[in-house]
Amino acid sequence: MKNTGLIILSIALVLGGCKEKNDVKDISMSVELQNNQLLKQSDLPYFAPDFSKIKNEDFKPAIYEGIRLKKENIAQIVNQKDEPTFENTIVAMEKSGEILSRVMNVFGALTGANTNDTLQALEEELAPVLSEMSDDIYLNEQLFKRVSAVYNTKDKLNLDNESAKLLSEYYTDFVIAGANLGDDKKTQLKDINSQLATLTTKFGKVLLDATNDGALIIKDKNKLKGLSEADLSSVKTDDGNYKIPLQNTTQQPLLSSMADRETRKSLFEKSWLRADGTKNDTKAILLKIAELRAKKAKLLGFNTYADWSLQKSMIKNKENIRSFFDELIPAAVAKATSESELIEAMMHKQGQKGQLEPWDWNYYGEMVRKEKYDLNEEEIKPYFELTTVLEEGVFYAATKLYGITFKKRTDIPVYNKEVVVYELFEEDGTPLGLFYGDFFARSNKRGGAWMSNFVEQSELYGTKPVIYNVCNFSKPADGKPALVTFDDVITMFHEFGHALHGFFANQKYPTLSGTNVARDFVEFPSQFNENWATYPEILNNYAKHYKTGEVIPATLLKKIKDAATFNQGYAFTELLGAANLDYAWHTITVDTPIKDVNTFENESLNRFGLDKVHAVKTRYRSTYFSHIFGGGYAAGYYAYLWTEMLDHDAYQWFVENGGLTRANGQRIRDMVFSRGNTQDYDAMYKAWRGKDPSVQPLIVARGLKK
């Protein structure tokens, strides 16, 4: 997520688009269920899942049993004869489904990071099952009457602030979900939700196959001139060929090193066309998703899906998104245009005639960077060994800012041998939680980078956070050091920023805890944490040569900083392209159906001048835009840009107030990062910052305007 990652769907989102089958009632608490590891509270520290005992076949019965118990709990709330109160209705709902949440947290982790045929089949089966269950709750007239009765007397209940916020959240969620609709419309809505749950799950599955099948196979080593021996070793297969796997973004990392133009073009086209015109084509799926979302919005009384989706966001409405984009696009495109001219000139200088193409940008751009800043990616990679970056960079920054310390645990079972585990402690030694890191790409792991919880912090349940980060870095050959790119370093800081947001949670109710916040706020702590990757005190502590232990030379450090704004016109324009595609797909109405995906995509980018620079393509095409068609960011991808604004504005406060200090770290932890969803986001940010956020620090940081 260095703007590229993706947080795995939380249990709230999983349940928010789900369903249930009639065979749920046929599963009772048999002896087999009683022995199911997933249905037991773990004996491990922090109730971490015991992967040494969990089997694939445990998930289906455990999830269906969890659904049965949740339905039973909800029925008890609805059927009770006592008058509705905060405790017997709202808190009772909060407590319902504890077992289901626990099981789904583990299931969601494995289906994202370590899936297999059994888990994929169950994931597809469960999508409509969970959708129906969610609808049965949020469209239950009697249950909504109880929630409304409590909500309408909220001023007389003398609730503490967090409880009042929980009550408001539940009431609002019912209304947003369609609780005020008539029976006929509720039936229609249930059908739409069921279809969407199935289709979004299918999109993710087909895209995973498309990404795996799209790998470029090269038989002639000469076609890979420019790649380092380490890169060649990492992609060499047992049969002597070379297999270059695709990452989830349009551009691919190795394009910056490939000297052979035809090979570059082949790799780019493999990426660009992975799910367009192949056996894993996603166009029909995403068209149906967009159509159904527009229908859902109209059914709920809104003109577009974005209007409906943004109700609880920090940005408030789609008009504010459009204004925000319009403020950024001209500067980004202008910067990309000047970069394009510079890079094309380098291409011609190297003897390559013609127009700069998308597959040329990173290759010749790297040459420009070397010439202009004398910075070579291969020169700096030896200073970024993964474990050193993690322990002496990412963790060290957290210690300096927040006082927390770390201890590696090798006694905690993991779901894959590549996963590492650390225990976190407060400054006074109080245990804080467990952190799992899963950093290398695998064929059974979806693309991108994300954070989520195995266990969420909650005073209600007496639980502390158990959190994992997942990335997709290139795995080194056996016996070789895990050297990562500087972009990978930024990703590590980013994802651990999400983890810190979860670790700092201090809420009673899990619904409001940690990262369970609006999409256009959740990326703020993570993007803010990226700033410390280049902070001199932090960088000098982790950027050490893996062979000699030598700290990165000051001259090389200066090159990294000087090059920080290089290629930012490209990076920002491709990101704006993706964000505008998301905006376009979710501001269509039922009266303007889309017939051709590629035509709509091209027109949407052209409308705002985002295709003006020929060689700059959108970060994600619609066909592999998993954030919005397979994940939880529909009508919300703008959040990466919005929270980047918050990130740079917040860092500017640190610059103005002494930089990296314990006092400054504690202040933002206490006032923002530990608050979860217990306050209005604007008010919370303003109380800490002292004023509303400004877009100017973002523009300056990106080098779009000085």
Phi and psi at 568, nearest 5°, equal: -75, -25
Name beta bridge partners: 436: 421, 468
Structure tokens, 504: 């700092």
Q: How far is 449 from 466, CA to CA, in rounded Å?
A: 17
Cα 114 from Cα 59, distance rounded (Å) = 14
DSSP symbols for 577-603: HHHHHHHHHTS--TTS----HHHHHHH
**Which residues face 157 on adjacent strands?**
none
Residue for token digits 């159906």? 593
Do 399 and 538 contact (CB within 8 A), yes or no?
no
How many whole angstroms separate alpha carbon 626 and alpha carbon 582?
11
Angle, CA of 649, 652 and 653, to the nearest 5°? 95
CA 123 – CA 109 distance, rounded (Å): 12
Alpha helices in 350-468, H assignment, sequence order: 358-373, 377-380, 386-389, 395-402
∠ CA(535), CA(537), CA(540), 5° rounding? Answer: 95
d(CA 363, CA 351): 14
C-alpha closest to that of 644 among 488, 530, 565? 530
3-class SS of residue 451: strand
Burial (CB count within 10 angstroms: exposed 0-12, middle 13-18, buried 19+), residue 545: middle
Q: Does residue 495 have an active-site annotation?
A: yes
H helix and E strand count, the chain: 29, 7
- Pairing type for strands 466-473 and 431-440 reads parallel
Catalytic residue, from 65, 344, 495, 530: name it.
Answer: 495
DSSP labels for 619-656? SS-GGG-HHHHTSS-TTTTTHHHHHHHHHHHHHHHHHH
662, amino acid identity: R
Strand stretches in 337-449, DSSP E: 405-409, 420-425, 431-440
User: Do 442 and 109 form a contact (C-beta atoms < 8 A)?
Assistant: no
Q: What's the DSSP call for residue 512?
A: G
CB crowding 122-155: b at 16 or more within 10 Å, else e:
bbeebbbbbbbbbbbbbbbeebbebbbebbeeee
Radius of gyration (Cα) for the chain, nearest Å? 25
Secondary structure class of 51 (helix, strand, coil): coil
Query: Alpha-carbon distance 110 to 122, whole Å?
Result: 12
List the one residue out of 7, 1, 4 whose CA is nearest residue 494.
1
How far apart are alpha carbons 199 and 190 in whole angstroms?
A: 14
The residue written with tokens 């073009």 in the block is 265
Which residue is associated with the tokens 């933002």? 668
Catalytically annotated residues: 495
